[in-house]
Structure 1
Amino acid sequence: MNQFFVLGIGGTGMRCIESLLHLCAMGMFDDTELHLLALDTDKNNGNFARLKEVKEAYCRAKGSDAAARTPLKDTFFSANVKYYEFSPNYDVKSTFQEVFDYGGTQYNHREEADLADLVLTKQVEEFNLRHGYRAQTHLGSMMMYHAILEAAESQMDNELKSFLAQLTKAAQNGTPKVFILGSVFGGTGASSIPIIPQAISRAAERMNGGAVNVLRNAYFGSTLLTAYFNFKTPTGDELNAQKVIATSDKFALNSQVAMMFYDDDATVRSTYQRFYMLGTDSIDWEPMAKRGEEVSKTITGGAEQKNDSHYIELLAACAALDFYNTKPEQLEENKKHAATDYLYRAVGESGRFEFEDFVGQQRAEVFARKFGTLLAFALFCNGEDDFVESVRCGAQKEITEFTGMEVSQVEYLKKYFALLFFERSEGQLAEGWVRQLHRSAGGGDKFLFNASLFGFNTFKDLMKVNWNKELYRTDGVGKDNNYKKSGIFSGSKFDPFKKMFIAERESSQGWKAITNSGEKLYKLVYDTLGKLYQFT
């Protein structure tokens, strides 16, 4: 079993972790225990809430007993995800002046107060921190560093300490890989990426009495995700009320300055072994556009801030996958010489995204198989065939091995697929993650799969889609991966699947070695769809 430590920071980091969890569901992190730390100042953020929904659905789809969940391989939901959260507590002391007792400092240590006034404006010292650092990275880096050390030294248990304890244990016994997901143009992520390796290493040392040096033993990588979206410009009244609001017209400049910093700063280069530079050619994407007239004000955070997902976040998650698969010898060489690799991947001028754009040519077919067959599984599970529930309740008379599957496990599997792809709501379909990615890429056939898979508005129309032969596009990877319906006229997409499932059950042994009934079923579905779509 392998271990991998990932931190998602800020709103963008939350959405990148969301994409990472979907990679886990595809089976891209086989035989892996994945430790995920979601770190945001805004604990009530809508993207934070959605991430927790995806995490809960993923984990509970593996079974209700957390202690019994294990990493698997060559199946869906193969990674065993251990999830942690940390938010600095700004409920009582919610401004810089309150956190650092500015009034007392002015009286007792005037020179420190003068230094703060030199680098921070009055508005920055007084704005509410509960919605993040609002692109004030000079403030945010100091605040986040302080918050991490304070949490590590706390006498109270917290999830940050649990995460650090696992990382310390891994660093004591080996060289763990740590990856940070976040943006460089906003507030929380941009503030935290430069200081995270130092902060978590210092915090771990304070917890273990200096017995283990995480910074020395671990390998660090991160995304450098530049501006890719915009939002409503704040009014004068909003600025007066909020004191400081990040504005998207400054994101490009913020990104440019940040990239210059990461190229020039020796301390950062000595702590990170690899950076992945990501961005789009414009910031035209409006992540709340589907909400239309509902959004009548500038939203700085809280439950209302629930941005739609974007394909660049999947690219960021794939960067984490690449770092995970990088040979330790290569990272060790960089660490020894305080060198940092700066990586990027270009997309073709056509604007169409290919599987290799996300994972490289060597992994393109594996990614296509795992992603596509997961969508097919979602359609058979949450579609009119209701396959998983029909097996659990004994409605499929030829398939009786899985009637012991927990009812809640089926419910959470269905919840996961609703978040992944589509959710039925009064005859209409609410967008899931993959449909939002498709829209962000420009729609049509620009995003990986056949356009027909996204060209519907009702459940009835979706069920008419021939995903047996129109799952993948007619060119590129996946063009030959399809199967025929049964019957002479309208035919059935489900019957060939069921027939192949029964045959696979009889001929294969791998699923029998799995303990959990639901995961036995997932393994058989994984193998069945791989053969049905002619990948094996």
Structure 2
Amino acid sequence: MAKLFVFGIGGTGSRVIRSLVMLMAAGVKIQNCDKIVPIIIDPDTQNGDMNRTVELLKTYKHIHDALGRREDGFFHTDISTLSSIAGDGTAKIRDSFVYDFGGINKPFKDHVGYNQLDVESQALMDLLFTPENLNNSLDVGFRGSPNVGSVVLNEIIDSPEMRFFASNFQPGDRIFFVSSIFGGTGAAGFPLLLKNFKDSRTSLPNAASLNTALTGAMVVLPYFSLEQPAAGVEADFIDSNTFTTKAKDALSYYQNHLNGVNAVYYMGDTPDKPLENNPGRASQKNDAHLVELLSALAIVDFMDYSDDELSGNETFHEYGLREDVSNVQFSHLDSETRDRIAKQLIRFHYFERYYTTHLPGDAQAAYAKGVDLQGALRNEPVFRELNKFLTNPEFGYQAWLRELSRKERTFAALNLNETDFNRMVSDKQIETGFLNKGIHQGAFVKELNRASESISDRNAFQATIKAFEAATDRLVEEKLKYS
């Protein structure tokens, strides 16, 4: 069973994984692997972006496990923690989607033993690191300083988590890195991990498999900026004016030192209104961005390629919209992207809108009565997990879609505030009239009832999801006629 290990490094890595989970929930297929294993690497254990992604991953896993192994449909892709891949319960690492840094909560200078160094070594440290670098606490990450990150992250290679990862890495497994190129954690972590995985002299187990593993990377260029404090005001902040310079420096380094990657993807955009400047911890929680959604699609694209297609020369990928527009609809995506995600996201959106708005009133509908859906909604925990996934204000689908609509370049393909199913898809609306009401609650119930007739499963949750999958498929094909 081939696995895809996705290393989400830093805040951008967490946010891209969040969008990837939404795509998987919608049923977007990922080829050439049976399981995705996200590994989030961020020393800022209180980081808001990271923690909401972790909660989303845990919720997704509960739902997927309740549905069981399936070849397609909502939540069909297996997303697992690193510790669970051993399969025999022998893992000696924490069962989590996040690498355990063990609570680094001291200044960088204490971490490297600055005060114990001789005078010459201290002078070298002063040359390589600013006073701010040396005095900043590591429990909020590396604050846009890859020179700090490269020192700290180099220590994780010999950690129990990395050795467990390497021990369970098998021929046929693949690796994908997601990181920004303009911050501290991502810019340092990606090349460092890559170098160690591809080093023939590495001390990690299964070195041969790691050295030859098909590897992809999403390198995220600057796509947002941060508010800067007023002149003369003392404030704890990250200077986003340096993002472009840092990106250029990193690209210059990557040009000559990025060895062993089969496919590199680049993504970025002109920053819009500056975000609130939060260097770390719980307050660092940026709204979802179109760049992150498209970056998640790079992972899907990478897995579409066969082993033979990826082997050999390194390939480079960029992404462009069909038009430079502010409100991006499905029609503004290239045809390959549109074909890959549009119908799946529309079906999932229809499902979410009906489930959260109309399903409570369907107690007497045949599809609901057949499995005592009302009783299951009250008593089965998995339905509460589904509600969390859809409606949680911190990490749920509704929040994600709402955040995507708040940028200057919005993802406006689906309208969360629209109650009329015939008007929910921006670039394809259903013309209604006296003889054609399009998609409405009655039409939805009819399709759900029809679908339930061919579902033998008496498990209320599994039967309900299957009914919605079949119903939304027919409604999109026959009513919306989306193509």
Aligned to 1:383: 357
Deviation, structure 1 residue 105: 2.9
Task: Report whether the alignment pairs 1:133 with 2:142.
Answer: yes
Aligned to 2:467: 524
Q: Distance in 2 between matches of 1:85 and 1:448?
A: 32
Q: How far 1:43 sits from its partner (Å)? A: 0.7
In the aligned structure 2, how far is the partner of 1:201 from the partner of 1:182?
18
Q: Secondary structure at the match of 1:178?
A: strand
Taking the aligned partners of 2:451 and 2:130, their CA distance within structure 1 comes to 67
In structure 2, the residue matched to 1:185 is: 182
Contact 1:90-1:129 at 8 Å conserved across structures: no
- 266, 272, 275: which one pairs with 1:284? 272
SS in structure 2 opposite 1:228? coil
Give the structure 1 partner of residue 342 of structure 2: 368
**For residue 381 of structure 1, what is the amino acid of its counterpart?**
Y
Tell me the secondary structure at the aligned position of residue 85 of structure 1.
coil
Distance 1:356 1:220, change over 3 A: farther
* Gap change, CA 1:409 and 1:435, over 3 Å in 2: same
Please tell me the residue identity of whatever aligns with 2:45. K
Kept in 2: contact 1:448–1:472 (CA 8 A): yes
Question: Of 389, 401, 406, which residue of structure 2 is paired with 1:439?
Answer: 406
Alpha-carbon separation, structure 1, partners of 2:98 and 2:292:
20
Change (3 A) 1:213 1:516: farther
- The alpha carbon displacement at 1:250 in A equals 1.4
Tell me the equivalent position of 2:87.
Answer: none
Q: Which of 362, 379, 382 in structure 2 is aligned with 1:409?
A: 382
Verify: 1:197 aligned to 2:206, yes or no: no
Instruction: Render the CA deviation track for 1:84-126: whole Å, top value 9, x for unaligned.
Output: 211434545x2222112222232xxx65444333322333122
CA deviation map 1:337-388 (0-9, x unaligned): xxx2221022234415354766x5235234111001101111111114337x
Distance 1:237 1:396, change over 3 A: farther
1:226 to 221, 240, 256: 221
Query: For the residues of structure 2 that align with 1:204 and 1:13, how far apart are their CA atoms?
Result: 28
* Range with greater deviation from structure 2 (223-232 or 371-380): 223-232
Residue 252 (structure 2) aligns with: 260
Give the whole-Å Cα distance in 2 for the aligned partners of 1:531 and 1:205.
Answer: 53
- Matched residue, 2:172: 175
Q: Return the offset for 1:530.
A: 0.9
Q: CA deviation at 1:236?
A: 6.8
Q: CA deviation at 1:407?
A: 1.9
- Structure 1 residues 421 and 499, CA gap change in structure 2 (3 angstroms): farther
Q: Is the 8 A contact 1:7 1:179 kept in 2?
A: yes
Match of 2:74 in 1: 76
Deviation at 1:58?
Answer: 1.5
Q: How does 1:122-521 map to 2 (within 5 A)?
A: 122-146=131-155, 148-152=156-160, 160-161=161-162, 165-166=164-165, 168-171=167-170, 174-199=171-196, 206=203, 208=205, 211-234=206-229, 245-262=237-254, 264-265=255-256, 267-268=257-258, 270-280=259-269, 282-288=270-276, 298-334=277-313, 340-351=314-325, 352-355=327-330, 360-386=334-360, 395-403=364-372, 405=376, 407-419=380-392, 432-440=399-407, 442-443=409-410, 447-449=412-414, 453-454=415-416, 456=417, 462=418, 465-467=419-421, 469-474=422-427, 479=428, 482=430, 493-507=440-454, 512=456, 517-521=460-464
Shift of 1:315: 0.7
Instruction: Give the distance between the partners of 2:169 and 2:278, measured in 1 at CA.
Output: 40
* Amino acid in structure 1 at the alignment position of 2:157: L
Separation (CA, whole Å) in 2 of partners of 1:216 and 1:236: 50
Distance in 2 of aligned mates of 1:182 and 1:333: 24
> Which string of whole-angstrom CA distances, capped at 9 and with x for unpartnered residues, describes residues 487-535 of structure 1?
979998121111112222334xxx55x7964234222211211111216
Tell whether the 8 Å contact from 1:137 to 1:187 is kept in structure 2 after alignment: yes
Unmatched segments (≥5 aa) in structure 1: 153-159, 289-297, 335-339, 424-429, 457-461
- Change in Cα spacing, 1:287 to 1:409, as seen in structure 2 (3 Å) is farther
Q: Which amino acid aligns with 2:248?
A: Q
Provide the rounded CA distance (Å) in 2 between the counterparts of 1:149 and 1:203.
14
Matched residue, 2:50: 48
Contact 2:53-2:395 within 8 A present in 1 as well: no
Question: Structure 2 CA distance, aligned partners of 1:130 and 1:287?
Answer: 22
What secondary structure sits across from 1:277 in the alignment?
strand
For 1:411-460, what per-residue CA distance to the aligned partner results, in whole angstroms no more than 9, with x for missing partners?
1111111149998xxxxxx96111211232545xx6323xxx24x4xxxx
Q: Deviations over 1:44-92 (max 9, x none)?
A: 011112112212221222356xxxx644222100111113211434545
Structure 2: distance between partners of 1:12 and 1:421: 17
Change (3 A) 1:397 1:529: closer
| Rounded Cα–Cα distance in structure 1 between residues aligned with 2:26 and 2:389 | 12
Q: Secondary structure at the match of 2:335?
A: coil
After superposing the two structures, state which structure 1 stretch, 403-412 or 223-232, moved more: 403-412
Q: Distance between the aligned counterparts of 1:520 and 1:287, measured in 2?
A: 43
Q: Distance in 1 between matches of 2:312 and 2:367?
A: 56
**Does the C-alpha gap of structure 1 residues 311 and 417 become closer, same or farther in structure 2, counting only changes over 3 Å?**
same
Given candidates 61, 78, 85, the residue that maps to 2:98 is 85
Listed one character per residue, the Cα deviations across residues 323-346 of structure 1 (whole Å, up to 9, x for unaligned) are: 111221122112xxxxx2221022
Aligned length: 457
The one-letter amino acid paired with 2:13 is G
**Does the aligned pair in 2 maintain the 1:230–1:287 contact within 8 Å?**
yes
- Structure 2 residue aligned with 1:459: none
For residue 257 of structure 1, report the CA deviation from its aligned partner.
Answer: 2.3
- Separation in 2 of the partners of 1:492 and 1:318? 29
Q: Take 2:400 and 2:2, find their aligned partners in 1: how far apart are those partners?
A: 27
Counterparts of 2:407 and 2:108 in 1: how far apart (Å)? 37
Deviation at 1:19, TM superposition (A): 0.3
* CA distance in 2 between partners of 1:314 and 1:447 (Å): 13
Please give the per-residue CA displacement for 1:238-285, whole angstroms capped at 9, x wherever unaligned.
75x75xx421111122222222322x22x31x22111111111x2124
1:74 and 1:523 in contact (8 A); partners too: no
SS at match of 2:264: strand
CA RMSD of aligned residues (A): 3.3
CA distance in 1, matches of 2:202, 2:388: 40
* 8 A Cα contact 1:102 1:113, kept in partner: yes
